[in-house]
Amino acid sequence: MTQPIPNPSGQSLTPSSDERTWAVLGHLAAIVAAVISVGWLSFVGPLLIWAVYKDRSAFVRKAAADSFNFNLAVWAAIIAGWIMLFTVILIPVAIIVWIVAVVAALWFHIRAAMAAGRGESFRYPWSIPVLH
């Protein structure tokens, strides 16, 4: 799941300490924003970091974009859970979907942040590709 960032010449680039820090924040910002907003604004942190660093650092841009795109998939699962909740008969399934979405979000964001701290790219298992 983790891999070094290749540059156009095919050689591996090592991101600077500052880039690694911002990439870690790009992954963890989703968790922080989710806690502050009770889950509703988990996409804002990665989106802000992507907007600030999209032209400065390819490493940070990719980390923030991947985090944002993964959050869209988590949001889709949570919304599907809400739809299931309103069908009444699917309430147990909705609860399971919510638990899986939240645990997966925490697990993969933390793993991605750890990879970014090592200067590696992390590939989330699923995402809705909006930002690049």
**Residue 87 is encoded by which pair of tokens?**
């069908």
The average confidence (pLDDT) of the chain is 86
pLDDT in tens, 16-59: 888 999 999 999 988 888 888 776 778 888 889 999 998 998 99
Domain range annotation of the chain: 2-118
Q: Is 38 left (phi over 0), alpha (psi -120 to 50) or beta?
A: left
Exposure pattern of 26-63 as b/e (b: 16+ CB <10 Å)?
bbbbbbebbeeeebeebbbbbbbbbeebbeebbbbbbb
pLDDT in tens, 54-97: 899 899 999 999 999 999 999 999 999 999 999 888 999 999 99
Which amino acid appears at position 33 of this protein?
A: A
